[in-house]
Structure 1
Amino acid sequence: MTMRLCLLAPLVVAVLVTAGCTESGESPAPDVLRVGMSAPMSTNPADVRDQAGRLATGALWTPLADYDPATGKPTARAAESISSTDRTTWTVKLKEGGKFHDGTPVTAQSYVDTWKVVSQESWAGSRVLKDLVRAKEITAPDPLTIRLVLDRPSGQIPALLSSPALVPLPASALTSRDWIRFFSSPIGNGPFRMDGGWQPTGAKLVRVADAPGKARVLELKIGDPAALYDDVKSGKLDLSTVVPGDRHEAMHTDFAQRHVMWALPSVSYLGFPLTAGYFSDATIRHGFALGIDRAALEAGVLAKQVDPAKSLLPPAVAPGERSSTCRPCTFDAEAGKSLLAQAEFPAGSAVPFGQSQANWLRPLAEQASTAVGVRLAADPGKGPFALDLNLSTPSPQEVLAKIVEATGYQSDGFADLLKSAEETESTDSGEVYRLVENQLLRDLPVAPLWSGHGHAVWAERAGDVKATSFGSVDLSAVSVR
């Protein structure tokens, strides 16, 4: 079984080829940045599930805030402030002068109306929108103020509101609801506007306000990762946000000081059925977790696009980092065999693994079965399953809720502990979330596997390349020379 947080958007951008990119290697205009990327699965910020989609929507929209999961601190973007005195009633103050690319003002009512409309759409599978709907009251007392009244205290609202899924849409889009047309030529509130819309031959973004030293025009090229990588090396492109696995090691020498890697808001687990069969025993679950060689899978079927897990919560949402790798995250075949023997796992038993479209599940099943000395079932049945999560918010609450939903995990005191973590101020919640994580690592309804990471390489002409988990590379900050 594969769990996903997002549904397909009405528009899937399958092939986008840059209009105006200089294929011959000729020098572009001084204010043009040529960017290579993979094809976005969606250009809808409420349904973004891949790095390319985050790159495009991050240029076209500005979220209310950026959020640092390591510290729990938001940094204001479209918002001037996000505050609460009781963690039940929250006030968001917007910066003055915000406008959509069509010239209409961005007001508090823009956000209220967008959230109401988008949350009703069938493609709005985002957890952050569903959580927002449960608020008792979402109003705009004045043009620059959003008021949220929750049904229970939550210290995670700054993380929730920093989600790219909560950016505003103009009234024209909300009225027509012609989403295919709108997301073909989106109108956002971000640093770049679309020039001409997505065309069969490509797309171009133009900066809204002057920014000396930064790119005025973005030319985006969708292509094969290896070809894009080579184009940056040869000077045909200035930046690429995809690096194939076979160039992963070369990246460090080809672009010694001109590459960056960052955590992506995607995480994978091996889920266990808890109510029936052998896997109702936590000792057996731990035994199989120790039989997973994550590094071998990373180098193989996963093509070096992930980081092996060190903890249950991924870096993109973790409130601080663990000082060491969690025990169920390590590969120790002999210890795994010992735990299965201790739990009296029946000798010669076949281990069924749940069916899934995840390309890693069967290689993992075969590897783990060999490591701990059991036989893989010929016909996958009800057994360990793939749990792939693409996150819409940097709050740990989203990860934990999906784990509970997928596995049916229950334990004495767990619900109260999770509630306490949610209610705690985000800047102080790290310690409580570690307690939640430690209980899950002890009972192990899921085995942590890995989280995704992004790559970018750039030519000498570009500089100031930075990336965030939920925004990909910040194209508005990239300098050109």
Structure 2
Amino acid sequence: MRTRLLALLAAAAVALTGCTAVEPARSGALTAGLQEPGTLLPADVDDQAGRLVTGALWTPLADYDPASGRLTPRAAESITSPDRVHWTVRLRAGGRFHDGTAVTAKSYVDTWKAVAAENWAATPVLKESLCAKEISAPDPVTIRIDLDRPSGQVPALLSAPGLVPLPASVLASRDWNGFARHPVGNGPFRLENGWLPGTGGKLVRVTPAPGKANEVDLRVGDPVEQYDQVRDGSLDLATSVPGERHEAMHADFADRHTTWPLPEAGYLVFPVRTPRFADATVRHAFALAADREALVNGPLSEQVDPPKALLPPAEAPGERTGTCRPCSFDAAAAKSLLGQSGFAGPSTVYYDTGAGTWTGSLAAGLGGTLGVPVTAQPRPSDGPLDSPSTVDLKANTPSPAELLTGLAAASGYADPGFTQDLAAAESAASPEESGQLYRVAENQLLRDLPVVPLWTGHGHAVWSPRVHDVTATPFADVQLADISV
């Protein structure tokens, strides 16, 4: 009778105060908030939430750090080549998918054939970057890759999270949508009972680790609400911080928050073959007229940083020497350069779906600074552009070549010296030499300026006092396997 009375009194207290009872945390269990992933098919992931989940479900062949050129084998035991043309990948023995089947060299070869045949985010890694003449599996733990030219970028390309293996069952059925709801990987966690859109899913560690998060309850929700839930103690981890909580984060979570670079950046891309924008002086005027701080603090809501180089930090091969003059805002110099060029408005800035708000703000700022009418319009569905456009580029690999090549192609920029620098960087004998040559190519783009850097993306996370050892990487987001609870 007394026990029942106490329970009734506790329930009444909750009702009177309007509070929600916080469920006690279980040892080894973690609750984590995230936004809805676009897909859980790893070869087609291009968003932060998708990278978080697939990064827990799969183990890549290796991790590659473009700043140092360091390769850290993961599912691979080694990635080697005697001449940078013929490459050998040795897999760690005993790899298994979550369905119990073996992960073999053939798993990778067959998966890569499927990726190359589809129009997925990772497809260009194989068809445009790797460009192998032949990929084979001579035995269960060996992958052989033969190229048509020397390339030292193979380790960086093979570390792409989109090139992880898929089990034979989905490669046979080709039910990609069904697989994305019930993914089967080779990573430290398996997904129990599949993914429920709008709700989330439960990750269970394949091999329990003492002191670590062995179960992760992934909850899809609003970032503002999730931030407040972590602060109030009803959620352990929020993997995004909205702009309206950005300043409060430093006080609310003084030593319990982190920020990391994302493989994403925004650019203003010029149609350099159009006469009005063929003069580099015009392009430099537009570059100096872009108020990046206003974009960061305004429509981009503190989710990005002003750029310090053409390449974002997630792709940068080491530290850049010197400042990036075209990355700065200088209204007087911008107007002076435009006057010297003889450029007369008006101009348009085109944008893709979802970028209208921040592109509109950019266009208004450019027009006000330069003294010419500049308007924002949706990108036409076909035909060449007659004015610059904003582009949000997302990298699939940590190789700088991917973004440098993509930026040149987007603008129609072609220069023999730039092409030679990229080829020399790809075939360089060491990561240090390669990094220096990629910086040379980057400097040429900053000089000729077919594209203007506007912002670089970053991720945020905040966590409760019971959570420790939170780290994040550009291509796998928060490392759930490393978290201690």
TM-score past 0.5 threshold:
yes
State the match for 2:31 in structure 1: 34
Aligned pairs for 1:324-473 within 5 A: 324-346=322-344, 349-357=345-353, 358-359=355-356, 360-377=358-375, 382-424=386-428, 425-473=430-478
Structure 2 counterpart of 1:439, one-letter code: Q
Q: Tell me the CA shift for residue 379 of structure 1.
A: 6.7
Question: Which residue of the other structure, out of 477, 481, 484, is the alignment partner of 1:476?
Answer: 481
Higher RCO (C-alpha 8 Å, min separation 6): 1
Q: Tell me the CA shift for residue 355 of structure 1.
A: 4.4
Q: Tell me the CA shift for residue 323 of structure 1.
A: 3.8
Q: Tell me the CA shift for residue 426 of structure 1.
A: 2.9
- Measured against aligned partners, the alpha-carbon deviations of 1:27-69 in whole angstroms (never above 9, x if no partner) come to 1211110001111011111111111000000010000011112
Unaligned runs of 5+ in 1: 1-22
State the match for 1:207 in structure 2: 205
> Aligned equivalents of 2:130 and 2:471: distance in 1?
33
> Aligned equivalents of 1:129 and 1:379: distance in 2?
34
Contact 2:64 2:70 in 1 (8 A): yes
Question: Which residue of the other structure, out of 232, 235, 254, is the alignment partner of 1:234?
Answer: 232
Secondary structure (helix, strand or coil) at the match of 2:50 reads helix
Q: Tell me the CA shift for residue 458 of structure 1.
A: 0.5
> Aligned equivalents of 1:206 and 1:279: distance in 2?
55
Structure 2 counterpart of 1:42, one-letter code: T
- Measured against aligned partners, the alpha-carbon deviations of 1:61-97 in whole angstroms (never above 9, x if no partner) come to 0000111121011111101111111111111111111
> Aligned equivalents of 1:202 and 1:388: distance in 2?
27
Secondary structure (helix, strand or coil) at the match of 2:456 reads strand
> Aligned equivalents of 2:263 and 2:153: distance in 1?
17
Structure 2 counterpart of 1:114, one-letter code: T
Secondary structure (helix, strand or coil) at the match of 2:195 reads coil
| Largest Rg, 1 or 2 | 2
Specify which structure has the higher proportion of helix.
2
> Aligned equivalents of 1:324 and 1:261: distance in 2?
24
Q: Tell me the CA shift for residue 182 of structure 1.
A: 1.1
Secondary structure (helix, strand or coil) at the match of 1:462 reads coil
- Judging changes above 3 Å, is the alpha-carbon distance between structure 1 residues 176 and 124 closer, same or farther for their aligned structure 2 residues? farther
Aligned length: 456
Contact 1:43 1:53 in 2 (8 A): yes
State the match for 1:79 in structure 2: 76
Structure 1 counterpart of 2:141, one-letter code: L
TM-score w.r.t. length of structure 1:
0.92
- Judging changes above 3 Å, is the alpha-carbon distance between structure 1 residues 210 and 382 closer, same or farther for their aligned structure 2 residues? same
Contact 1:354 1:382 in 2 (8 A): no
> Aligned equivalents of 1:318 and 1:328: distance in 2?
17
Unaligned runs of 5+ in 2: 1-19, 379-384
- Judging changes above 3 Å, is the alpha-carbon distance between structure 1 residues 292 and 472 closer, same or farther for their aligned structure 2 residues? same
Secondary structure (helix, strand or coil) at the match of 1:59 reads helix
Q: Tell me the CA shift for residue 118 of structure 1.
A: 2.1
TM-score w.r.t. length of structure 2:
0.91
- Measured against aligned partners, the alpha-carbon deviations of 1:80-121 in whole angstroms (never above 9, x if no partner) come to 111111111111111111100011111111100110122212
2:102 aligned with 1:105 = yes
Contact 1:287 1:335 in 2 (8 A): yes
Question: Which residue of the other structure, out of 142, 150, 161, is the alignment partner of 1:153?
Answer: 150
Question: Which residue of the other structure, out of 175, 183, 188, is the alignment partner of 1:178?
Answer: 175
Structure 1 counterpart of 2:458, one-letter code: H
- Measured against aligned partners, the alpha-carbon deviations of 1:317-342 in whole angstroms (never above 9, x if no partner) come to 11012244300000001001111111
Structure 2 counterpart of 1:352, one-letter code: T
State the match for 1:44 in structure 2: 41
> Aligned equivalents of 1:431 and 1:109: distance in 2?
36
> Aligned equivalents of 1:319 and 1:355: distance in 2?
29
Q: Tell me the CA shift for residue 388 of structure 1.
A: 1.0
